[in-house]
Structure 1
């Protein structure tokens, strides 16, 4: 996982899709519930393995329904939403869930519970048929992805077991022996393993349960990881790049305003310069330049000084050349 994705995960806010399904048994019937809440609203999905229902309740609707069902209760919306969340997540024994109405197009789930002070609290989730897109994105596609990912992980485990068998065989050839006989295992055989799984009693129980145990703790974790990875892959890259560009521009502006060019490689600068940059000398009030020391006059003086120096060097070279010629004439 890249550092960029790790940074994105720290700032990403999960939505309904990222929340996992919770198994809930109501009147001996198995349901799966998905719940997501904000500060003043909630969303819920309910599935009975045949139909899927959905409800989105905003703040105004929540207050109106709460006043109707619990006229004597006055509490912040956020606190009551936390109460709903805790009851759906933990499914406390003292809380009672009951299906009041169930058709292909409508589903009403009531919850009777008690607040912290023992005050009774009643709530009804009035759900309607979920759209096909919502069913696909929250259930069908994630489940298919879970199956393919579990298959990939199983193949990786098969490869690892074969490597372990090769390692154990090498130890045995070197004279190593198992200290306790019951710890010794036979070499792994993929075909034998799959046949044993297909004919076991556990396999029969899983088929009879119709996927009831699909969302145990490990299944829920895998579901969340898949939905998080999916959100990362489907993020708006254009907006992300524009944000990075803006951050880069602002960083460049800050560097330029501080007097340091953003393209300067500080590793190539002398330590004395870096020390001077880190510990700047106190600012002095600018002294007024006299006409003789104005920038223009200083520049002209420097130019005249260079020209005079070049003339003097030329004269010295000319004298030196003439001396060499006289010396050569004297020799001949």
Structure 2
């Protein structure tokens, strides 16, 4: 998972992927730096930076992940950027001892930025669009459910439970600079994007309004001479 942090006036994101090796990725939203390091190399770097601290090879990865996860809270960050790469030093406290993690990340080409930043951001926006569509349909169904309840049971007695009917137009005032409601409009584009970069690995419940949700029902008002048969209940006009 990405973590955000600030160094001076610059803003960054950082993440670490733990597999057989560890992959560290840092971006300032314009450039991207990457380092792939084995556990043996990571242990050697750790021992060189912290000669008085005894640690096992199976523990060093967890220590690095813990330092990165707390990077915006209690980790002091040192950074030196060059044309070739980025030197990153994380200073943290462990059991009252100061620990240093040193990394030498290489500057990666635009293809890496596309894979690590651009594609996930587009997929995130598309996922949010799908979730928004699902929630809008669910709210419409809930409003229709409340209308049905009021017709059959009467008004809701508790004021704190009464809500205004959902108005989807309130969501339409979006700044043109934002990218909401963009990637779901063109199915051909999205299918091509998925073919090149893969689909979103997430499941969203498909909530659709039933046709009868759009039809308002009215309670039929009977005169005093009208007799309702037992068990028939309240009649409605569709």
TM-score by length of 1: 0.48
Aligned to 2:157: 179
Give the Å deviation of 1:182. Answer: 4.3
CA offsets, 1:244-268, max 9 Å, x none?
A: xxxxxxxxxxxxxxxxxxxxxxxxx
* 1:156 counterpart residue number: 134
Distance, in Å, in 1 between the alignment partners of 2:44 and 2:87 is 17
Change (3 A) 1:155 1:68: same
Counterparts of 1:73 and 1:125, CA distance in 2: 18
TM-score (normalizing by structure 2): 0.65
The answer for the alignment partner of 1:42 in structure 2 is: 22
Relative to structure 1, the CA distance from residue 173 to residue 64 in structure 2 (aligned partners, 3 Å threshold; closer, same or farther) is closer
Distance 2:42 2:159 in 1: 65
- Larger strand fraction of residues: 2
Which is greater in Rg? Answer: 1
**Helix, strand or coil for the counterpart of 2:106?**
strand
State the Cα RMSD in Å: 3.0
Counterpart of 1:77? 57
**Structure 1 unaligned spans of 5+:** 1-19, 208-225, 230-332
In structure 2, which of residues 119, 123, 128 is the aligned counterpart of residue 145 of structure 1? 123
SS in 2 for 1:174: helix
Q: What is the CA distance between 1:67 and its match in structure 2?
A: 4.2
Q: 1:168 aligns with which of 146, 169, 174?
A: 146
What is the total number of aligned residue pairs between the two structures? 183
Tell me if structure 2 keeps the 8 A contact 1:43–1:54. Answer: yes
Match of 1:29 in 2: 10
Matched, 1:194 2:175: no
CA distance in 2, matches of 1:136, 1:155: 27
Shift of 1:44: 0.2
Contact 1:21/1:34, CA 8 A, preserved across alignment: yes
Classify the secondary structure of the residue corresponding to 1:123: strand
* SS of residue in 2 equivalent to 1:142: helix
Paired residues of 2:87 and 2:105 also in contact (CA < 8 A): yes
* Residues 59 and 180 (structure 1), Cα distance of their counterparts in 2 relative to 1, 3 Å cut: closer
Q: Which runs of 5+ in 2 are unaligned?
A: 180-198, 203-238
Deviations 1:33-91 (A, max 9, x none): 1102346x421000111111101122453344334323333422222222111111133
The answer on whether the counterparts of 1:27 and 1:98 sit within 8 Å (CA) in structure 2 is: no
1:106 counterpart = 2:85: yes
